[in-house]
Amino acid sequence: VGMSAQMAEYATFAALRYYRGFDRYAENAARYTWAPHAPPRLTDWPVGILGYGVLGHQVAQTLRSFGFPVHGWKRRPDDNADVPLYCGREQLADFLRATRLLICLLPLTPETREIINRETLALLPQGACVINLARGPLVNETDLIAALDSGRLAGLTTDVCCPEPAPADHPFWHHPKVLLTPHCAAITLRENAIAQIAGKIRALEAGQ
């Protein structure tokens, strides 16, 4: 399984966990509460992929196969995009307003550092969820915790944080609405990597 496939698996797990309410079932189980509920309409759970590149494309195709409506955001227009695309800072607000499940796949640059903050979180619909599979510094963690505490956000699933590894007193470990995993969404697999490197060496030697 390549890195893009692993990333799509993780994103799908997180999206389904919120859409089907498995996070609530886990809370109920801890209280020995038996409370089934019908799943909502998928059309009420639009997914926005913040950073629509190669990984974003793979994630989008996987989620679309489950029926999720998906749109993306990137800095520049892309005529080949296969989902509705928002572009540039001028369309970021509209992208966020249309997003209930926000999946972050941005690279970390001076422009994207803390792009998820009090102002941008306030643009998401009430009860939205954030899934960060990219880099910890993309998020202002204080603002994000405040959004969870206020009810603006319903949940956070994050594979990254600041610092890493997360110390025992990091708030993500302790918040009931947060699922933190140890930067494992897409792990480099040795055999796959060796095969790719060897293939590129052969292509180079063949003048390709």
> Which of the residues are catalytic?
135, 183
**120 vs 8, 54, 62, 97, 160, CA distance in Å?**
24, 24, 26, 9, 19
Contact 102/132 with Cβ under 8 angstroms? no
φ, ψ (nearest 5 deg) of residue 43:
-65, -20
Q: What is the DSSP letter of 187?
A: P
- The secondary element (H helix, E strand) that includes residue 196 is helix 190-205
d(CA 32, CA 36): 13
Please name the residue that has the structure tokens 């890493």: 164
Distance separating alpha carbons of residues 142 and 139, to the nearest angstrom? 9
The 3 state secondary structure assigned to 109-142 is CCCCCCCECHHHHCCCCCCEEEEECCCHHHECHH
* CA 8/CA 139 separation, integer angstroms: 21
